[in-house]
Amino acid sequence: MNTSGMLKIRGIFRLLRVKQYYKNLIMLVGIFFAGKLFQFSLYPKIFLGFVVLCLSSSIIYILNDIRDLSADQFHPEKKKSRPLAAGILSVKFAWIILFVIILLDGLILYFLPPLFLFMVGLILLNGLLYNYFLKDVPFADVIGLSTIYIWRALAGCILIDVSISPWLTITVFLTALLLATGKRIADLSLIGGNNASNHKKSYRAYTAKILDKFLIIIATSLFVVYTLYCVLGPSEATSIFALEKNLLIYSTPIALFLIFRFIFLINNSPELARRTEKLFFDKQMLIGAILLVLLILSIFYINFDNIVK
């Protein structure tokens, strides 16, 4: 394949934002915390649902790139990173890809529960509201963006017919809100206040002082809500083992460490805080996250009642 062909393929992947697909893994919250992680019969449905959410994300990204084409062509970063602004792909070609993705999305949705279709509709609506309105409104931008993660998590639950604690749902929302706010603080630090306002209109109202206060409120709320989930949540949503409710509280120190570490990185390594996927280049964040997952996994899937007896 010649160079122009490879460039076009890479442009398609960048247009679809394939690197951002990992964010849809939040749909696994339901199967993980409902104690059904090893019910492999659910995996085909989970896989199809994940594909739908990824394609739906691409729909939003493509529409956003078409809408912002003129502005992106004058943006120092986006005119190089976005294939439409860089001239790698034409707008007509982008519309064709969008049409194909919508068809694929609809075809797969035909085999999934109707309520899951409703959740996908909410995700698309939320994404469109964010792209066309909320992203230019200070604070509404981070709240609107974080709300999408609630719909993704609930979509995963609906797909396999399980429920999760409301406390866990709020934990998902606050985690997304913390990451989004941290990204904006990092942007201000790296790009500078004046340049950041050119990056996104909502940044005109943001200052480091305001965002720091906002971050403290979110971080405190996140830890409190997660602690409440550990004490109250599991017994409401699951009934795997009797001791799980008592043991889950021991995961809170690790969760608190991860929150503290993220705040530290915002101030000392803002280039990591700007991209969620880069956070795990930090060894302490990676080790902490692995320990938290392993601890919760053991609590939910090992019968400590039998061990105690």
Structure tokens at 7: 């460039």
Q: How far is CA 173 from the centre of its chain?
A: 9
Looking at the fold, whether 56 and 26 belong to one and the same domain comes out as yes
Looking at the fold, whether 150 and 181 belong to one and the same domain comes out as no
pLDDT at 239: 47
- In Å, how far are 82, 94, 138, 180, 278 from 78, measured between CA atoms? 5, 16, 21, 19, 19
Question: Domain ends where: 114, 139, 164?
Answer: 164
Angle, vertex CA 289, rays to CA 284 and CA 291, nearest 5: 95
pLDDT at 146 over 90: yes
254: nearest Cα among 226, 273, 221: 226
pLDDT at 80 over 90: no
Domain annotation covers residue 10: no
Q: Residues 84-134: pLDDT tens digits?
A: 887 888 889 999 999 999 999 999 999 999 999 999 999 999 999 998 889
Q: Residues 100-109: pLDDT tens digits?
A: 999 999 999 9
Domain annotation covers residue 5: no
Which of 148-157, 169-178, 193-202, 242-251 shows the lowest per-residue confidence on average (mean pLDDT)?
A: 193-202
Looking at the fold, whether 21 and 134 belong to one and the same domain comes out as yes
Looking at the fold, whether 32 and 120 belong to one and the same domain comes out as yes
Q: Residues 213-264: pLDDT tens digits?
A: 999 999 999 999 999 999 887 654 454 544 555 788 999 999 999 999 999 9
Looking at the fold, whether 160 and 196 belong to one and the same domain comes out as no
Looking at the fold, whether 109 and 215 belong to one and the same domain comes out as no
Domain annotation covers residue 282: yes
Domain annotation covers residue 9: no
pLDDT at 308 over 50: no
The whole-number average pLDDT for the span 149-157 is 96
Looking at the fold, whether 130 and 267 belong to one and the same domain comes out as no
Question: Domain ends where: 103, 130, 164?
Answer: 164
Domain annotation covers residue 241: yes
Q: Which residues contact 82 (CB under 8 A, 6 or more apart)?
A: 14, 15, 65, 72
Q: Residues 159-189: pLDDT tens digits?
A: 999 988 899 999 999 999 999 999 888 888 8
Structure tokens at 13: 């992947």
Domain annotation covers residue 2: no
pLDDT at 193: 56
Which of 19-23, 53-57, 182-186, 286-290 shows the lowest per-residue confidence on average (mean pLDDT)?
A: 182-186
Looking at the fold, whether 156 and 173 belong to one and the same domain comes out as no
Angle, vertex CA 179, rays to CA 69 and CA 35, nearest 5: 115
Looking at the fold, whether 154 and 171 belong to one and the same domain comes out as no
Output the domain CATH number for residue 76.
1.10.357.140
Q: How far is CA 110 from the centre of its chain?
A: 25
- pTM to 2 decimal places: 0.89
Domain count, the chain: 2
- In Å, how far are 27, 155, 260, 275, 286 from 13, measured between CA atoms? 22, 25, 34, 18, 27
pLDDT at 1 over 70: no
Domain annotation covers residue 82: yes
Question: Domain ends where: 164, 191, 214?
Answer: 164
pLDDT at 195 over 90: no
Looking at the fold, whether 135 and 224 belong to one and the same domain comes out as no
CB atoms within 10 A of CB 193: 14
Structure tokens at 108: 């797969």
Mean pLDDT (the chain) is 87
Domain annotation covers residue 284: yes
> Phi, psi (5° rounding) for residue 143?
-70, -45
Model confidence at 300, pLDDT cuts 50, 70, 90, reads confident
What whole-number distance in Å separates Cα of residue 207 and Cα of residue 297?
Answer: 40
Percent of the chain clearing pLDDT 90 (strictly above): 56
The whole-number average pLDDT for the span 136-143 is 92
Looking at the fold, whether 118 and 218 belong to one and the same domain comes out as no
The whole-number average pLDDT for the span 271-288 is 87
What whole-number distance in Å separates Cα of residue 306 and Cα of residue 300?
Answer: 14
Looking at the fold, whether 252 and 289 belong to one and the same domain comes out as yes
What whole-number distance in Å separates Cα of residue 162 and Cα of residue 110?
Answer: 20
Domain that holds residue 73: 15-164
Burial 250-262 (b: 16+ CB within 10 A, else e): ebbebbbbbbebb
DSSP annotation of 162 reads -
